[in-house]
A and B are shown apart, each in its own frame.
Chain A
Amino acid sequence: MYTVFLYDGTFDGLLTCIDKILSTHVNEDEVVIAEKDRYQPMFFDSPVYVALDKNRSQELRQKVISASDKITFKKIYYCFLSEAQNKETYIYKYIKLILKHGKKVKYLYHNDVVNFVEKASKNVSREIGKYMGLMRFSEIKNGVLYAQFEPTNDILVPISYFFRERLKNFKWVIHDKKRSKLSIYDTKMIKFLNDINLNASFSDDENLYQKLWKLYFKTMAIEERKNLKLQRQNMPKKYWKYLTEKN
């Protein structure tokens, strides 16, 4: 028999939920954690909903970091951003391992839980890394830069912080089309918004620079060394939809 815990879908919500579970006496193997809106109730379940409590999540965050380190905590966060099945339950078990073994957990590579978290977080950080290079911004009428993408994982937040450093003096919008989420940066701070539709038209320069970039992209290829397979390996087709040079 499983005990099902539901959380609100946010990272802090999940931490609150895990903190709550840690303070109750349930058998680890019987814990299931799921997002409230995605959860499909089973016949015998009586799920418990744990509401977000910032103090509690903050406390657990500190506890995990002092038992291990920031890098390990970031792994947990990245795992949370992944689309891996049952990630919440694995994160719960992983946190338990950290509280027991400290940052040595990364050497327990035989362990399924550790393996799961390592894999999922690597997958996310790889995707973030790809988009650092492959995100394409276009200038729209009011000089704002606009980028759209459809990432596999929910990486809008970390990717936005990356571009805050990179494009400090520009106003920009990054649009996760798959999840209908936006981040907006006004040269001071980033705001995150949900369920927004955007209509924008290009600035006068935009067409010229797209043309220049396409030309440059073509010019740089060395005909005698053509290797489209290798190109696809480095830049898989899933990224092409919003790549200026591929359209």
Chain B
Amino acid sequence: MDILEKLQILGAAAKYDVSCASSGSKRETNYGIGSTFTAGICHSWTDDGRCISLLKVLFTNECLFDCAYCINRKSNDIKRATFTPYEVAELTMNFYKRNYIEGLFLSSAIKNSPDWTMEMLYKTVYLLRYKYQFNGYIHVKAIPYASLDLIRRTGFLADRMSVNIELPSEKSLKLLCPNKTKESILKPMEFITKVGEEERNFVSAGQSTQMIIGATDDSDRKIITLSQHLYKKFKLKRVYYSAYTPVNDDPRILKVEKPPLLREHRLYQADWLIRVYNFTADELFEKDENLDLEVDPKVMWALRHLDKFPVEVNKASYEELIRVPGIGIKSARRIIKNRVFHSLDFDDLKKIGVVLKRAKYFITCNGKTYERHLIDTVPEKVKLQLIEKKAAEQKVKQLSFFDSEVFTSVITGEI
């Protein structure tokens, strides 16, 4: 099989993987070719508008396992291919030096044995770092059941490693992944965290994971509570959520007509709130098991706590400001910097980039509310105003998930 055909098969097999950001590496090197860039760089945008920054491929799609939701599972009759470490390294180098990509995202199905697979991934990364002196970004999957020693050696060569947690509960995992156990996922995850804390230059861009959304009946509360736990206990850098796209006809999987993109989007927003804004899962799910699809979770929270509003922009603390819908980290910082020089009115807020569309219901400037917006109206009324013009449902239909505004916020989860 020639390299063109392999790339086609093993690229296609990896394209739904969402966790491919390339930022944040702190690996220290002073030799060789390439560099990682703290902010991450996009090198192209596909026809669906998604950014390409890494060469994202599977090493092989021949799998021993039989996970119900996976296109590569053993029981599927599909075209199979396997790279050699040398082929992946050559592709990476040649794409990199033409400035097509920032680095490599290498994942894999499990062929022969978990150790065989992990060893191939290790060899690939080893070749890149030592034979080709490649200094760019590398993200490698840790394979469940692979020996910790192999994972350890790979981790010293990679910028980021990830073990996919796949499903938010043990029950779901048992149901859909008969070959994987909770252990087989959490053990390597814990190991990577531990070594990362002890050693410099070990997965210096940190660890991430990915979870499938909508294939099982797990609630948003369960998902976000799990993420909170992963951030705390395993110090993960990111949890990625992937709306399930039905690829197999399997009775164990919930019937999904279309991938629940809006739900995925709301989960990213909630994730952002617990990761960056110091919200807790309990705060976001005081009443319901699931997030409100009509408004973002920060608005949802604010509407339940109208007693905490309005917030006076010229006096509020940073913590109070970032809880205002429409005021993000950046705007809050700018407000604090700027109000030192003079007190801010609504016009000033616009000038420094605060989006008043949502914020105007929740703030005062020098005691004044925006035009005649009453802050203390009934939550339901405010909510009606805040539901974006295009109904939420329509959003899903048109997949405007990938519209730029929504899409950027999907990547960062920022609200």
Contacts and interface: CB of A to CB of B under 8 A. Distances in A.
Q: Do A and B bind each other?
A: yes
Interface of A: 104, 107, 109-110, 129, 132-139, 145, 147, 163, 165-170, 205, 209, 211-213, 215-231, 233-235, 243-245
B351 interface: yes
Interface stretch (B95-103, B231-239, B299-307, B321-329): B95-103
Given A137-B97, A221-B47, A225-B402, A215 B4 contact: yes
Interface stretch (B9-17, B78-86, B183-191, B212-220): B9-17
A14 to B, nearest CB: 29
Nearest to B39: A129
Given A212-B7, A217-B52, A227-B49, A134 B16 contact: no
A169 B133 CA distance: 9
A107 B99 CA distance: 37
B44 A235 contact: yes
A169 B34 CA distance: 8
Interface in B70-109: 91, 94-95, 97-100, 102
A168 B135 CA distance: 10
18 contacts: A110-B351, A133-B53, A135-B99, A137-B98, A139-B97, A169-B32, A169-B133, A209-B95, A212-B3, A212-B7, A220-B15, A221-B46, A222-B46, A228-B49, A230-B49, A230-B404, A230-B407, A231-B46
B47 A231 contact: yes
Interface string B2-37: 011001100110011000000000000000111101
Contacts of B99: 133, 135-137, 147, 163, 166
B49 A136 contact: no
B409 interface: no
A199 to B, nearest CB: 20
Contacts of A205: 94
B45 A235 contact: yes
Interface of B: 3-4, 7-8, 11-12, 15-16, 32-35, 37, 41-53, 55-56, 91, 94-95, 97-100, 102, 133, 245, 337-338, 341, 351-352, 399, 401-404, 407
A222 B43 contact: no
A213 B99 CA distance: 11
Contact of A133 (B35, B43, B97): B43
A166 B341 contact: no
Contacts of A229: 49
Contacts of A147: 99
B133 A209 contact: no
A230 B98 CA distance: 24
Contacts, number: 139
A228 B94 CA distance: 27
Contacts of A245: 44
Contact of B91 (A211, A212, A233): A212
A88 to B, nearest CB: 26
B8 A234 contact: no
Given A215-B7, A245-B44, A230 B35 contact: no
Given A139-B98, A222-B16, A227 B351 contact: no
B40 to A, nearest CB: 10
Contacts of B337: 107
A170 B407 CA distance: 36
A234 B298 CA distance: 27
B52 A231 contact: no
A109 B402 contact: no
Contacts of B50: 220-222, 225
B55 A216 contact: yes
A96 to B, nearest CB: 20
**Counting chain B CB atoms within 10 Å of each CB, which of A132, A209, A216 scores highest?**
A216
B44 A219 contact: no
B415 to A, nearest CB: 20
Contacts of A209: 94-95, 98
A216 to B, nearest CB: 5
A170 B341 CA distance: 49
A213 B98 contact: yes
A134 B33 CA distance: 19
A230 B403 contact: yes
A132 B8 CA distance: 26
B34 A166 contact: yes
A131 to B, nearest CB: 9
A228 B351 CA distance: 31
A206 to B, nearest CB: 9
B195 to A, nearest CB: 29
Contacts of B51: 234
B42 A133 contact: yes
Contacts of B11: 215-216, 219-220
Contacts of B37: 132
Contacts of A168: 32-34
Contacts of B102: 133
Contacts of B15: 219-220, 222
B44 A165 contact: no
Nearest to B401: A225
Given A133-B42, A166-B35, A211 B47 contact: no
